[in-house]
Amino acid sequence: MSLNNIILKNGILIYSCIVTFFLIMKIFGLDNVSELRFLNFLFVFWGVNRAIKQNIDYNHQDSYFTNFYAGFGSSIVGIALTIVGLMVYVGFIDPSFITILENSSLWGKELSLGMVVFALAIEGTASSVMCSFILMQYYKNYKAPEIIA
């Protein structure tokens, strides 16, 4: 499996987990509990781990930077899709979601969609780097299995 396929598939998987989680929160009326949004980090962490592991198993890569790129790329794809999804959600489905964000203790008042997108892009990039770096501390000494021909 190519590295780009691994990145794309795991990025879509991260996005799917985050969207499903927010949908469940919305169904149960928990979309105003901002502390639950920190669980997104777990989905990103899981997707990054899965991407690195797949790159090692399928491509027999044990290069630090290649595996870091696989994890980081997957999380960036997932975060980018999530931001686009948020833009569609706020723009067409539920514009009042900005008000929910304003009322949470994390964001502040007088938010615009652009400010939220910018903040999520910065937060997502930071969490992508952190997850990839943390996991690469484990995988840096991990050797790909030998191929027996």
- Give pLDDT tens digits for 127-149: 999 999 999 999 887 766 665 55
Flag whether 144 is in a domain: no
Flag whether 36 is in a domain: yes
pLDDT at residue 144, as a whole number: 63
| 3-state SS class at 51 | helix
> In this prediction, what percent of the chain has a pLDDT beyond 90?
60
pTM for this one?
0.89
Flag whether 149 is in a domain: no
pLDDT for 53 beyond 90? yes
For residue 129, give its domain range.
3-139
Flag whether 123 is in a domain: yes
Flag whether 146 is in a domain: no
